[in-house]
Each structure stands twice: as C-alpha cells, then as structure tokens.
Amino acid sequence: MKKALFLLLSLSLVATSLFAAGGQEQKEEGPIELEFWTHEDPNRTAIEERYIQEFEAENPGITVKRVTHSSTKIQELVLTAFAANQGPDIFNMSIEDEYAYIANGRVAAVDARAVGYKSIDELKNAYIPKVLDPVVMDGKLYGLPLELTNWSIYINKRVFRDAGLDPETDYPRTWEEMADISEKIIIRDGDIITRRGFDFRYPYYLVSMVPMVEQLGGELISKDGKTAIVGEEAWISFLDYMKAWGPNGRNLGSPTYKNARKLFNYDNNDIAMALTGLYQQGRIKADNEDFYNSGEWMVVPFPQFEDAKQKAAACYYGHYYMVNGQTSERRQQAAWKFIGYMLSHGEEYLTTVNIIQPTKKLMESDTFKNMPYSDVFRDDMENGHIVYYGENSAKMQELIKQAVESVMLSGVSSEKAYATLKAEAQELLDEE
Amino acid sequence: MSRQKKSSLKHHQDRWGMLFVLPALLFFSLFNFYPIFNALFTSLFRKKVLSLKPPMFIGLENYTYLLTSADFWNSIRATAVFTLGTFVPLLIVSLLLAVFISQVKRGRKFLQLAYYSPAVLSSVVAAAIWLLIFDPRGLANQWVNAILMTPGVDHNWFSNSCMVQFATMLVYFWKYVGYFIIIFIAGIASIPVTLYEAARIDGSGNWQSFWKITLPLLRPTVVLVSIMSMLQCLKTFSTQYLFTQSGAPQGPINVITMNIYNTGIRDHRIGRASAMSIILFVIMLFFTWLQFKTTKSDEVTY
Amino acid sequence: MKQSIPIQRIIIWIFLLGALVFIMAPMIFMISASFMPASDIVKMPYRWIPRGIHSENFVKAVAGNDGTYIFIRNLLNSLIVASVVSFTTVLISSLTGYSLSKFSYRGRDLLFLMIMATMMIPFEAIMIPLYMVVTKLGLQNSYQGLILPFLVNAFGVFMMRQYLITFPDEFIDAARVDGMSEFAIYRSIILPNTGPAIATLAILAFRSQWDNLLWPLLVAQTEQMKTIPLYIVKFTAEMHTDEGAMMAVNLLASIPMFVLFFALSKYFVSGAAVYSSRKG
C-alpha cells in the first residue's frame, strides 16, 4: 500500500517539477515566426492575409501565422495560453477582456519606431483624443486599436411604413417613444412575438445599458472609484423601464428572442430596429446586397430618456492589438512592426470591413465622411465614453445582467434587484 | 509444489501485474493525478490566472469564502435540483419503458434503436436542435399549446426561471433515456424465464411479477446505473453553458461546473475555482463511497 | 384476467408510442429542417415536409462560410482522433483491468481507488494544468495533443476490471501450467474473451471523443487541426440565423456516428449487458 502511494506521489511530484518552471525559451537568432491570434471575421481575413504576404516579402526572416478563433471563445483560449506561458505573439480582444493583461504586466509596451512613428508622442497625437486611454498605464502605451466601435439605431423603413409610420419623422428620439413605437410595430400570435420593434443588445449591458442609467443621472462606479452602482433613483427607474419592456410588462421582447443584429440584414419583416455599429453596413452588404442598395434602411442616434439629466450615447468599445511581453525584444519589435504595417491601411479596413481605426487622419478623411450615416456615429461617439473596463468588468456585466433579467423575467421588484446589484457590485469592487 | 516455490511464483506473476499497470500509472500520473494535485494545491492560494506575482498562501480562506457565499450555495442548489430532477425521472421512465418493451413481441428491436438514437448525437448537435425547439416560435410552444389547447401562450422556456431548469432537464432526459432503457432491457433479459413461469403458475399477474421478481433482481443494476447517472448529472456543463450563451438567465441553472468555469476563466480567480472543484470532488466522492457501500451490502444479501 | 390483457397491451403501446414520438420528433425535426430555407423553419405552425429540397444548406455546410471546405478536414480529424483513442482505451483499459483484477500486488486496491477518483474531477477544473502539461511537451495544435490526455480513462479501467473479476481463474492458471508467458495469457486468453466489453468500451470512447468540445477548443489552434464539434460551434456562431444550414451541418456531422451505430447496433445493445450483468 505505502509503496504504491509513494510511487504515485513521487511520479506526480516529478510531473510537478517538470512543469512548474515557467517561462518561454528564447531563440535570439534565426528567423522569427510570429503567431497572431484574432477573432473570426471573413472580410478581414481576406485583406490581412494579403498584408501578411506583403509584409513577409518586405521583411525576410519574419513569417506570420494568422490563427482565427470564434469571437466568443477567444478569451478563454488566450487566457489558457498565457496561463501556460505560451501566449501568442500578437492578439486582439475587446478591451474589457484585455485590460487584465496590461494590469498583470503580460503585454509589451508599444514600440513607436517599429510601428512607424518617430516617438510615442507623435503616435499618441495621431489618434483622436481619449481612444488610447484604456491602454495607457503608468504613462506607457500597451496597445493600438484595431477597431473602435459605437452603436446607434438602425431602422428598417419598410417595416415602419408597413406599421403605418413614417420613418423619417416618426423614428424614436426617446426611450419612451421607443417603447410606444415598438408597440405599434409589434405583431404577436397570442403572447408570442412574430415581429419586433426593437431589440436590445442583451449580452452587452456595459456598452448599451449603463449609458441609459447615466442619462438618468446614475453611475456604474463613482468618480473616486470607490462606490459601485451610484444613484438609486436612476437605477430603479432604468430597471422599471426594462421591467415594463419585458414579457411580464408590455411584452415588447426579451433576451430569449433571437438577437436582432443579423436578423435585421435579412429584411424578412421580423424586426424594425437594431442597435449596432457602423460595421453593420458591411455585414448587410455581405448578407443581403439588395437590401443594402435599396436605401430602405437608415441610422438614427441613440435615444435619450425624456427627463434625462444628461446626454449619453452608447459607450464605445474597442479591440486593441497587443503584443506578448514574455518574449524576446526582437520578437516584440517584429510584432509591432507587423502591427504597424497592418494599421497603415486604415482606409481599406474602413471601406472593405467597415471598421474604424480612430486616427485623426481617418476620421477627417473623405472616405469616412462619405460612409452612409457616419455623422450619426461620430456625433454619438462624442456623446459617449469608453466602456467600463477593468479586471472585474466581465463579472460586473454579469451582475447587471442578473439584475435586468430578474426584473424582466422573474418578476423581482426593481428595488430589490437594485439592492442585490448594489451589494454584490460593491463587494466585487472592494475585492480588487 | 512447495510453499516456498508457490510464493515465489506468485511473486513473479505479481511483478507482471505491476508491469501491466505501468502504462496506465504513467498516464494517470501525468494527465490526471498531477492536474488534480495541482488543483488541490492552487485551492490554498489567492491566485489569479494572469498574475505573474507569486500567489499568496491563504490556507482555507477560499473554502470559508465559498461556504458563506450565496452564489455558491445557489450553484449547489442548481446542481442538486438538476441532478434529482433528471436522474429520478430518467431511472423511473427508462425502467418502465424497458419493462414494457420486454412485454411486446413485435418491433422490439426497432424501438430499442429508436430510443437509443439521441444518445448517438453529440451534445453540441443536441443543444442546437433544442435551441430551435425552445424558440418562442418553435415546436415546444406549438406542441404544448396544441396539447393544452392554449393557443398563443408563450411558455417562456428560457426566460422563466422554473422553465429554464425544466428545459435543461428535458434535454438531458431526452438524450439519455434510451441508453438506460437498453441497460435495463439487458438486465431484464438476464433474469431467468423460469422464475416468471413459476410465478405465473402461482397465479401472479404481470404487475405482481414486476414487483416480486423484476425489481428485486434488477436492484444491483438500478443501484449501479443510478450512481453512475448521478455522477454524470453532477458534472453537467454543456447544456447549461450553451443555453446561457443563447440568452437564458444564468442564476437558475448556474450549476457548479459552470460556476467553476466562470470563476476560473471569466473572472480569472483560479484559486477559488480550484477550491470549488475540490468541494465538488468531495461531494462526488461521497456518492461513490455510497455506491461501494450499497453494492457491498448487496453481495451479502444476494 | 383474460379481458385485462388487451387493455394492458393498449396501455403499454400508448406509452411506447408516446415515448417514440417524444424521442424521434427532434431528430426528424433536424432532418426535415436541414432541407428547408431558414425562413420556413421558425414559422408557426411548423411544416414537417419541406417544400422541395433546399440543397444550398448542404453546400453551405460543407463549403463553409469562407468556401475552404475545411469541413472535410475537420471531419477527418475527428475520425482519426476518435479511432485512435478508442483503440488505445481498449488496449490500456483491458491491460490495466486485467492487472487490477487478477493479480495481488501491494497497493493494488489503493491504485484502483485513485484511478476511480479521477472520474470525479470535472474537466473544467483541471483544464489549465492539463494544458500546461501538453504545451510543455510541445504538443499543442497536433494530433498527439488532441489524443494524449484521453489515451485511457477511469471508466474503461473500471469496466474492464468489473468484467474480468468474474472471469474464471482456472483458465488463467491452466495456461500458466502450460507455460504461457503472462503477456501471452493477456493476448490470447483475456483479450479474445472480453469481446462485448471491448466493443462497448470502444464505442463509448469513440463517442466521447466525437463529442469532445472543450479540449480541442484549447489545443487545436489552426483550422486544419480543428475537430467537428468546433466546426459546428464556429459555423453556428457565424450563421446562427441560417437555421437550415445549421441543421444541415448538424445532420452531416451526425452521419458517421449513425453509420457506426447501425453497423454495430448489436454491440451498442449487447454491450450494455456488460454494464448490467455484473453480479452485485
């Protein structure tokens, strides 16, 4: 018995000592193969594969392996890889997920020269204000935006007219109107909705719902960063609004209906309005070119509450290219050089994939100005701020989700949901 | 054969036995024991996945935190509800159907295969089918409304907190009922026919034979199957995970494995997630011990 | 008594057919939906018979969103991984089960208990340390990496041990008297006599790899190394409003398992007997 136990333990210990020592071995010489992990996006794949070929031709000795993962799974893949000290050289995710990599010193600071600027200041100056804030820590810059996006309301004019509304004049300006107009558009079979007016972006509570609270004078986190869920009245009236929207209220939709952003493109008389970004135009074109060319869609600003205390549009959020900080400087430099090469094609990214790389040059370019409704997105962006990001942002989003679902679906009172949310969010904040 | 020689021969044989177990020993050490010890070790630290700082040793703090956390107790509740709500009906219905199938003469083979077929599908496929069925406009509402004659009612399969728990159970039940039916049919087939004939001569009806013969003789199978399926239910993950990814509320179906996953991967708290795994491990160990105990006592009475 | 028999029969058949409808309806739904355009699928009431065959679904399913036909490669990967795993599981489980049931060295029972205990750790809990082992061996994104952690499993060892416990010792002893080596005994006496158990185990192992999602997700990094469940997940994420194409992928991905199931249904069924027929 004891002998066997001893053997087992020693085998496990050997395994432990073999695998406990972390760190990646560095090869200082020879060619470099950069591993670049990004999320699935067919339009981007086409142009980036071309950039890779061009870059490799210009830079002998560097090859790039581009690996795509589904956008819902990439977080755990990058995380597991970094946990094993085997992170890819280059990766991008949304900033809420990436922030922890900066906070834990896992990523390398931007090499301005490799990217193609004379200095960090010149680089920072090339971007519009505020957009690099999330990737700055202790004065150092750790990422460059692959895309920065905010959301406004897309409208299907045909559905509006079908419901006896004039899209040009009757579109919703306030959330109250949003509910009333949805009521007019909606078609139900009993309780079951077969045509919806508007669909919230349910999983994205931080981007799309926190601004609604802010309009009412509430905050997610206080300015000093110490208190969570500020403004009882604002949060409760927001929760009341969602309660009235849900199946136990006016029954205008719920998180269990299929989300609208793709349904919208098909123009099947399923949905009149969707909350989504400029990139949607590329997707409409890809899914349903006839609809795209028909001029039967339009974009209007993010609604405000009637008695809003302040103007707030949907938050903007972004994907930033980052470079693994646990590799040799030589690799890091090569990685930044490649990122710099890709990012030098801002206009092509905008025209073929409809994503915005927020440099001053691009935002002031005719290409951007000529994009349909780009002014709506630009104005909304000015009224918005970057989405809440931090090491705990995913959990924070989960807590808001639970609060909204409990009032919408389980019939919990807004006051009770607020109290639960406040207590749990505060505990989460204090733990940091 | 002298005693000496016999024992040395035995020694020689047992060395072969040890040699035969070596590949498995190596394998389990590297891919099972090491990760488990790693999890046990990690559970004593405040450790974040990405942190490069050495993790802080906090003793049992992760465990005391969990045992006072409402969120964790909710997961215990969700897991217990799912486990009981799935494996009890699974056991009863599959036993009943197995008995029924054994009674019929025609179509027996076809029924077995048909009942078994969902178990052949992978869980991703099963989830995709049921996601469409549970759509507000999907078959679940249409059928229930047709049966209850309540046109137009949305039964909120995903949005109502009771219904979503029921929905996860239904998927699991659907997928595995055929598997258990087949196990029970095999068990029933191994009962000697002479016992039934004797009972019939004594004037027992089918129903009485079931209680007097089938059930008592199937007891070992029932115990084994129920413990095995219970362990499977305690480890359930994919259905709940895919449902929450499709808009179902997390609270009602936040089973322990999903909590482990979210705590470790989404929230990066690997120490706490490990502690949760160890607690789940202990719970499951308890049930296995129970299995060994009940089957041992069976041997005495059998 | 005689009157009650037809009534009993009717009740039995009502139950059996009710269960049949419940179990088969989702399967038939998958098949019928895979021949329909998306707009016909989520529509009330559902029409079970497709209006003609919408074969585009299958073209999309196989060609993929990007037209690379990676589906075929992924299908092949799944077949390779599942076949190899089912082979090694049978081999190692039977060897280990033999050792744990028919020899009596010190620590045998402890070892058996420890192997059993591994069944109780959820995979989600050990995936990070496991990933570290595999990356340290440099096996990420390779067939070895996909296969290695599943070479054998505790359930297989358990099953083979339980099966062999009832195997008569006399055969083994007789062979020893004949001077057969221990390994020869395993190969020519134990293995040939565990047919149903081996068939069941092979099928179970194949099935569980065919189903495996989480591990390939972590280890298979390039499209070329991905397996079928990953393909389905990816395809669903991209095409989640095209239910017809989604169901077509699901149907195609299930076909190999169904072929196996119908070809070997004897073992699916008789194998279960192994499970139940062991004595208390």
Q: C123-136 and A74-83 are packed helices; what angle lies between their axes, rounded to 10 degrees? A: 60
3-class secondary structure per residue, C116-180: HHHHHCCHHHHHHHHHHHHHHCCCCCCHHHHHHHHCCCHHHHHHHHHHHHCCCHHHHHHHHHCCC
Locate the chain B residue with the closest alpha carbon to A11: B29
- Pair B121, B175: CB distance under 8 Å: yes
The answer to whether the Cβ–Cβ distance between C128 and A86 falls below 8 Å is no
Higher pLDDT, A71 or A56: A56
Angle at C227 between CA C224 and CA C230, to 5 degrees: 105
- The answer on pLDDT for B224 being more than 80 is no
Residue A300, phi then psi, degrees to nearest 5: -125, 160
User: What are the chain A neighbours of B153 within 8 Å (beta carbons)?
Assistant: 190-192
DSSP category for residue C199: H
- pLDDT at A146 (0 to 100): 94
Angle at A293 between CA A292 and CA A295, to 5 degrees: 85
CATH placement of domain A35-149+319-371: 3.40.190.10
- Pair A403, A415: CB distance under 8 Å: no
List chain A domain ranges.
Answer: 35-149+319-371, 151-314+392-431
From A101, A191, A392, residue closest to B153, measured CB to CB: A191
Q: How confident is the model at residue B299 (pLDDT cuts 50, 70, 90)?
A: very low
User: What are the chain C neighbours of B299 within 8 Å (beta carbons)?
Assistant: 280
User: What are the chain A neighbours of B250 within 8 Å (beta carbons)?
Assistant: 398, 401-402
Q: How confident is the model at residue B289 (pLDDT cuts 50, 70, 90)?
A: confident
Q: How many residues does chain C have?
A: 280
pLDDT per residue over A86-138, tens digit each?
A: 899 999 998 988 999 999 999 999 999 999 999 999 999 999 988 899 999 99
Is the backbone peptide bond immediately before A372 cis, with ω within 30 degrees of 0? no
Residues of chain A with a CB closer than 8 angstroms to some CB in chain C: 1-5, 7-8, 15, 18-19, 37, 40, 42, 45, 65, 67-73, 76-77, 80-81, 83-84, 86, 189, 192, 194, 258, 262-263, 266, 268
Q: By C-alpha distance, which of B73, B123, B86, B116 is closest to B230?
A: B86
DSSP category for residue B55: P
Cβ pairs bridging A and B (under 8 Å): 115
Say what percent of chain B tops pLDDT 90.
25
List chain B domain ranges.
Answer: 59-123+175-294
- pLDDT at A290 (0 to 100): 94
Residue C73, phi then psi, degrees to nearest 5: -60, -45
List chain C domain ranges.
Answer: 15-59, 65-241
What is the C-alpha separation between C4 and C280, in angstroms, rounded?
A: 36
User: What are the chain A neighbours of B26 within 8 Å (beta carbons)?
Assistant: 11
From C135, C217, C241, residue closest to A73, measured CB to CB: C217
Most C-contacting residue of A79, A80, A262, A283 (CB-CB within 10 A), to test interface = A80
Q: How confident is the model over B189-204, as a mean pLDDT?
A: 79
Q: Structurally, what CATH architecture does the domain formed by A151-314+392-431 represent?
A: 3-Layer(aba) Sandwich (3.40)
C-alpha of A172 from chain center: 24
- pLDDT at A141 (0 to 100): 95
DSSP category for residue A66: E
- Pair B231, B82: CB distance under 8 Å: no
- The answer on pLDDT for B300 being more than 50 is no
Locate the chain A residue with the closest alpha carbon to B32: A12
pLDDT per residue over A320-365, tens digit each?
A: 999 999 999 999 999 999 999 999 999 999 998 888 999 999 999 9
**Nearest-CA distance B250 → chain C (Å):** 18
pLDDT per residue over B146-159, tens digit each?
A: 888 888 888 888 88
User: Helix (H, G, I), strand (E, B), or coil: what is residue C223?
Assistant: helix
Q: Does C44 touch chain A (CB under 8 A)?
A: yes
pLDDT per residue over A241-284, tens digit each?
A: 999 999 889 999 988 888 888 889 989 898 999 999 998 998 89
Low-confidence ranges of chain C (pLDDT < 50): 1-3, 277-280
Mean pLDDT for chain A overall: 89
- The answer on pLDDT for A212 being more than 70 is yes
CATH placement of domain B59-123+175-294: 1.10.3720.10
Mean pLDDT for chain C overall: 84
- pLDDT at B301 (0 to 100): 33
Q: How confident is the model at residue A24 (pLDDT cuts 50, 70, 90)?
A: very low
DSSP category for residue A164: T
CA distances from C269 to A333, B219, B229, B279, C94 (A): 61, 20, 18, 36, 20
Identity of the residue numbered A120: I
Report pTM.
Answer: 0.86
- pLDDT at A324 (0 to 100): 96
Q: How confident is the model at residue A23 (pLDDT cuts 50, 70, 90)?
A: very low
- Give me the residues of C, 97-116, that contact B with CB < 8 A: 98-100, 102-105, 108, 111, 114-116
Buried b (16+ CB within 10 A) or exposed e, C22-41: ebebbbebbebbbbbbbebb
Q: How confident is the model at residue A418 (pLDDT cuts 50, 70, 90)?
A: very high
Q: How confident is the model at residue A43 (pLDDT cuts 50, 70, 90)?
A: confident
User: What are the chain C neighbours of A189 within 8 Å (beta carbons)?
Assistant: 44
Q: Which two tokens stand for residue B112?
A: 């077995």
Say what percent of chain A tops pLDDT 90.
68
Return the H-helix or E-strand segment holding A273. strand A271-277
Strands (E) located in A40-186: 62-69, 90-94, 136-137, 140-141, 144-149, 151-156
From A12, A100, A408, residue closest to B268, measured CB to CB: A100
What is the C-alpha separation between B80 and B255, in angstroms, rounded?
A: 9
Torsion angle of C-alpha atoms A41, A43, A47, A52, degrees rounded to 10: 20
- Pair A364, A379: CB distance under 8 Å: no
**Nearest-CA distance C82 → chain A (Å):** 23
C-alpha of C91 from chain center: 17
- Give me the residues of C, 213-252, that contact A with CB < 8 A: 217-218, 221-223, 233-234, 237-238, 240-241
Neighbours of C166 (CB within 10 A): 10
Q: Does C258 touch chain B (CB under 8 A)?
A: yes
What is the C-alpha separation between A238 and C106, in angstroms, rounded?
A: 68
- pLDDT at B182 (0 to 100): 84
Locate the chain A residue with the closest alpha carbon to B24: A8
Enumerate neighbours of B (3 or more CB pairs within 8 A): A, C
Q: How confident is the model at residue B123 (pLDDT cuts 50, 70, 90)?
A: confident
The answer to whether the Cβ–Cβ distance between C107 and A1 falls below 8 Å is yes
CATH number for domain C65-241, candidates 3.40.50.200, 1.10.3720.10, 3.30.470.20, 1.20.1440.230? 1.10.3720.10
The answer to whether the Cβ–Cβ distance between B295 and C280 falls below 8 Å is yes
Neighbours of B252 (CB within 10 A): 24
Buried b (16+ CB within 10 A) or exposed e, A11-38: bbeebeeebeeeeeeeeeeeebebbbbb
DSSP category for residue A107: B
From C109, C111, C140, residue closest to A86, measured CB to CB: C140
- pLDDT at B4 (0 to 100): 61
Residue A217, phi then psi, degrees to nearest 5: 100, 5
- CB under 8 Å to A106, separation ≥6 — which residues? A82, A87, A324, A325, A326, B50, B52
Identity of the residue numbered C271: G
- CB under 8 Å to A89, separation ≥6 — which residues? A34, A35, A36, A323, A324, A327, A331, A332, A334, A335
Residue B192, phi then psi, degrees to nearest 5: -60, 135
Q: How confident is the model at residue A229 (pLDDT cuts 50, 70, 90)?
A: very high
What sign has the CA pseudo-torsion B223, B224, B225, B229? positive
Return the H-helix or E-strand segment holding A33. strand A32-39
Q: By C-alpha distance, which of A42, A146, A135, A139 is closest to A91?
A: A146
Q: How confident is the model over A157-161, as a mean pLDDT?
A: 95
